[in-house]
Structure 1
Amino acid sequence: MQRAIRKTSIEIKNVPKKNHETKEDLVNMVLCLSKITNTKIQTSDIKDIFRTQGKKDITKNTPIVVELGSTLTKTDLLKNCKSFNIKNKDKLQAKHLGLTSSENTPIYVSEQLTAKGARLHFLARDLIKSKSFKFCWTSYGRVYVRRDEGSPVITIKNEAQVHHLMQGA
């Protein structure tokens, strides 16, 4: 159910926070992102947009959550952001969102995961760093890993599975 709620949402991470930031500012950032990545997104495609609350430090660059009108739009945007980063040496940065301060700050666009999904993705990325797995990604709220190009895709379902893969690798 948690995954279903988030199926049209993305997160934009590490975006420098502006003073007195408004929803219009956030919408404009997404429209700039869609323009630079050649994704057709209009204001009407954005159902909701907000910056998540941080713990206590209000200067922290907390993620921006964007709820889009459809999973097709979300998938398009994610695919085009990934493609942009592959094609350009100058990967996505704050300046691509129309920001002029801290413009070289790298930004990251990903699907919004549940707390459990985010934890599994974090652990799976550790698996990539420490063992013989080469790929780790998320799709439709699920976390996947793969040893190399020819090996089968493994769906990560729980933390115990990640620990088991660490022992076996």
Structure 2
Amino acid sequence: MTTAHYMQNKTSLLNTWKCPACINVTRRNNKDNTPVRQVHAPSLDMSCDEEPSQEVANTTQHSQSAPITYDQINGLFESFRVSLANDIRVTIKSEINTAIENLKSEFTATTDFLSSEQCDLRKELNVAKTTIKDLESENLKMSSEMRNLERRLVSLEKSSRSQNLEIQCVPENKAENLFEIVNKLGKEINVSITDAEVKSTRRVSKLEKSAERPRNILVTLSSERQRDTILTAFKAYNREHRATPLTSTHLGVPGAPTRVYVAEHLAPECKHLFALARKAARELNYKHVWAKYGRVFVKKDDKETSGTIYIKDATALKEL
């Protein structure tokens, strides 16, 4: 019987197995129950025979196929565990070292890049600072030049308007004769105005197109002195005729009489400031508002203690 056959049929063989001594039982005729054991071959003491194999003949191979004990298995596992732990330790250490080297390399490259960028930014910043200083210096220079140009422009505007005056609020008429209106104005205020002293007369456009008041009459005279003479005479006339100031009827303009004003030919900015000053004077009960030589002035009343206030700009009106 082979070992494989025994192992495959172990359960059934054990149930039927009996030792040789039990099998060798003979019954006597005299019915004696005492058994008589016969001599049997030693081979009958075996429950199964092992088939000879090639490993039996080979002593070295037989010793190698000997059963492995628990201690040996435990030793093998311990040796494998130690070896595996060492391998893992070495592998992890190698990977960590590699990662550290890579990080060092990347960090070095990054720091070099940042350092280069910082140097470039510092250079650009220095260039920008220099440019800003140059621009600031140039801006100051240009601002100074602009202020000079503005002063020159104002001076030129005053000079170009120094011989002009405006007759305001005269009703418009298609058949009107502006030279005749100027002549009648001179007669009413007792100033001789010859045709030679009047260079030109014309209506000028309104600052506010929607305004209902008629366009002003712009008169260009031969000299600034003649203009000042007419302005002074006009103010004197209104002071003497407070009840009946100069109107369009005095100038021979048909229609309902409307009050007429004679003033300097102001620049648009000064004219706007003059309008703001008149509005503020009405609100704050200032009695006198006038413009002279392109400047605006106000006065509270006729008392000597009331000083003349020069209105330089709109901010000065807030300080009244």
TM-score by length of 1: 0.85
* Greater than 3 Å deviation, 4+ residue runs: 54-57
- Aligned mates of 2:310, 2:182 — CA distance in 1: 30
Give the aligned partner of residue 98 of structure 1. 252
Summarize deviations over 1:145-169 as a string: whole Å, max 9, x none: 123332322211111111232xxxx
Alignment equivalent of 1:68, drawn from 208, 213, 221: 221
User: Retained in 2: the 8 A contact 1:13–1:62?
Assistant: yes
**Match of 1:142?**
295
2:92 maps to none
Measure, in 2, the Cα distance between the counterparts of 1:144 and 1:60: 24
Aligned-pair RMSD on alpha carbons? 2.0
What CA distance in whole angstroms lies between the structure 2 residues aligned with 1:73 and 1:153? Answer: 26
Amino acid at match of 1:83: A
Moved more, 67-76 or 30-39: 67-76
The 3 A distance-change label for structure 1 pair 107 and 117 is same
**Structure 2 alignment gaps of length 5 or more:** 1-155
Asked whether 1:45 is paired with 2:200, we answer: no
Supply the distance in 1 between the matched residues of 2:299 and 2:248 (Cα, whole angstroms). Answer: 31
CA offsets, 1:29-88, max 9 Å, x none?
00010011101211111122110135768x962100001111111111111111112222
Q: 1:10 maps to what in 2?
A: 165
Paired with 2:274 and 2:298, the residues of 1 have a C-alpha distance of 9
- Gaps (5+ residues) in structure 1? none
Q: Count residues in correspondence.
A: 160
Larger Rg: 2
Listed one character per residue, the Cα deviations across residues 112-133 of structure 1 (whole Å, up to 9, x for unaligned) are 1111111111111122111153
Cα separation, 2, equivalents of 1:51 and 1:133: 31
